[in-house]
Structure 1
C-alpha cells in the first residue's frame, strides 16, 4: 500500500473513532508497527493527529486521563491554588471532571462551609475524605448518571437534568482548550453537555486552563468567551499572543 493511501486510511479511522491504537492500524492496513510509527509521525507533523501512548488521537482530543494526571502537575497545582482563593465560605460550586479540577478538590477540601456539586467521582472522594477526617466540613453532592468510559465521572441526560435543579455561585471548569473566538471547548460530547449545563446554571464561570490550552480550539464549544468571568492560567503563557487576545475579551485573568 502506498504511503498516501495509508495516510488516507488512518485519517478515515480517526474521523470515525476519534482515537485509535497502533494495533488497530496495523490490522486494518496490514503493515508493520514501524510503518505505522512513521506514518503517525508524518501525520502529527502535518497537524492531523496527536500521538499518544499506544496509538493516536484526533488533534483536538485529550490524552487518556491516566496520562494527563502526570503532566504539568506543578502548573495545575498553582492554578488550583489561585482558583481556590476565589472561593468564599457558604458558596455553592459546580466542578466538572478533569486532572486540574481533581487537584483543585485537594485545595478546596481545606476550606469549610461549601456545597460542592460535581460529576467527578475523584473530586467527590477527595472533598468527602477531608470532611471524614474532620479537616473541614463541606457538603458534597455527586451527580447521578452513567459512568463515562473516558474518566471516573458521570455523564448523560440524568446528569444534565440533575444540574438543572441547582443554581450555583461559581462553576469551576477545566476545558480541553480556550481561545478568544470560540471560548471554552472540549472534545467529548457527553462531557461537554455537562459543562454547558453547569455554565447555564452558575452565576459566575471560572475557567482553569494551563498555558498549553490557550489559543487552542477543540471540536465542541460549551462556554462563549463573553460568559467567562475569570480565566486562571499559569505564568508560562503570560507573553503569548493567545493570552493577549484573551485578555482583550475577558474581564479578569489570573496568572498563577
Structure 2
C-alpha cells in the first residue's frame, strides 16, 4: 500500500474512532509496527493527529489520565522538582489536577508550612499522610464539587465558588498544551473553568508543561501567554518551533 493511501486510511480510522491503537492500524493496513510508527510521525508533523502511548488521537483530544501517567515521566519529574524552587514557606498554592501536578505533590510533601488548595483528589491524598509534627506539616484543602468523569478530581460550579473563597500566592497548573497564540489550554471545559478560576485568584501563575505540550493547542484557553509568570519545561522544548515566540511572551522560562 502506498504511503498516501495508508495516511488516508489512518485519517479515516481517527475520524470514526477518535482514538486508534497501533495494533488496530497494523491489522487494518496489514503493515509492520515500524511502518505505523513512521506514518504516525509524518501525520503528527502535519498536525493531523497526536501520538500517545500505544497509538494516536485527534489533535485536540487527550489520552485518559491513567495512560498519561506513564508518558514522559522523567521529564515530568524534573519539572516537579524545579517547581519547588519557585515557591516559598508560608505561601498558599493552587494546584489543579494532572499527572505532572501529582508528581509535584510528592515533592511538596517533603516541604513544610504551605497551604495547598486543590481540586485533585490524587494531590490531596499524596499530601495528607505526613508523619511530621503539626508545625512541620502543610495544610491541605480539597475543593468541593462533583467528581469528574475524566479525572480523579472535583469540578463544576461548587468547585469554582470554593476557589473564589481563597487568594493564592501561586497557581501551579498543568495544561494539555501551551502555545504563543492561545496560551495554556485544556481539552475539557470543566477542567478549564477550574484552572481559569485559579488563574483569576492567584498572584503568580506557574505553568508546568513538558516538551510534548509546547506548541500544542487544545479546545479551551484558560490563561493567555502574557499572563504566565513562569513556564517550567524541558530542554527538548527548545527544539520546538513555537518555543522561541512563546518564550518572548511569558515572563520567565525555567528549563528543568
- TM-score tier, shorter chain, comes to 0.7 to 0.9
> What's the secondary structure of 1:85's corresponding residue?
helix
The answer to whether the 8 Å contact 1:61/1:176 transfers is no
Sort the Cα spacing of 1:198 and 1:5 in 2 relative to 1 into closer, same or farther, 3 A. Answer: same
Quick check: 1:179 aligned with 2:172?
no
Aligned to 1:217: 217
Q: What are the ranges of 5 or more consecutive residues in structure 1 without an aligned counterpart?
A: 27-31
CA shift, 1:49, in A, is 3.5
Change (3 A) 1:43 1:89: closer
Describe how 1:57-76 pairs up with structure 2 within 5 A: 57-76=57-76
Q: 1:74 to 1:134 in 2, by over 3 A?
A: farther
| Residue 11 of structure 1, CA deviation | 5.8
Q: Which is worse superposed, 54-63 or 96-105?
A: 54-63
Question: Is contact 1:119–1:159 with CA below 8 Å preserved after alignment?
Answer: yes
Q: Identify the residue that residue 29 of structure 1 maps to in structure 2.
A: none
How many pairs were matched up?
240
Kept in 1, the 8 Å contact 2:96–2:118? The answer is: yes
Is the contact between residue 90 and residue 115 of structure 1 (CA under 8 Å) also seen in structure 2?
Answer: yes
Q: Could you tell me which of 10, 28, 38 is aligned with 1:35?
A: 28
Contact kept, 8 Å, 2:40 with 2:56, in 1: the verdict is no
Deviation of 1:240 (Å): 3.5
Greater mean deviation of Cα atoms: 62-71 or 188-197: 62-71
Contact 2:173 2:206 in 1 (8 A): yes
Deviation (angstroms), 1:115:
0.6
By how many angstroms is 1:118 displaced? 0.4
The TM-score normalised by the length of structure 1 is: 0.82
CA contact (8 A) 2:14 2:20 kept: no
Q: 1:95/1:241 Cα in 2 relative to 1: closer, same or farther (>3 Å)?
A: same
Aligned-partner Cα distance in 1 for 2:30–2:151: 27
Structure 1 residue 110, shift from structure 2 partner:
1.0
| Structure 1 residues 152 and 202: CA distance shift in structure 2, 3 A | same
Describe the shift of the 1:20–1:234 C-alpha distance in structure 2 as closer, same or farther (beyond 3 A). closer
Query: 1:241 Cα shift?
Result: 2.8
CA displacement at 1:74 relative to structure 2: 1.3
The 1:54–1:192 alpha-carbon spacing in structure 2 relative to 1, beyond 3 Å, is same
1:48 aligns with 2:48: yes
Whether the 8 Å CA contact 2:13–2:20 is kept in 1: the answer is no
Unaligned 5+ runs, structure 2: 1-5
Secondary structure in structure 1 of the residue aligned to 2:129: helix
Task: Note the C-alpha offset of 1:59.
Answer: 1.5
Q: Which residue of 1 aligns with 2:144?
A: 144
User: Secondary structure of 1:178's partner?
Assistant: strand
Equivalent residue number for residue 108 of structure 2: 108
Change (3 A) 1:55 1:231: closer
**How much is the aligned-residue C-alpha RMSD, in angstroms?**
2.7
Shift of the alpha carbon at 1:48?
3.3
CA pair 233-8 structure 1, distance change in 2 beyond 3 A: closer
- Alignment deviations for residues 231-256 of structure 1 (CA, whole Å, 9 cap, x no partner): 01112223443221112111110011
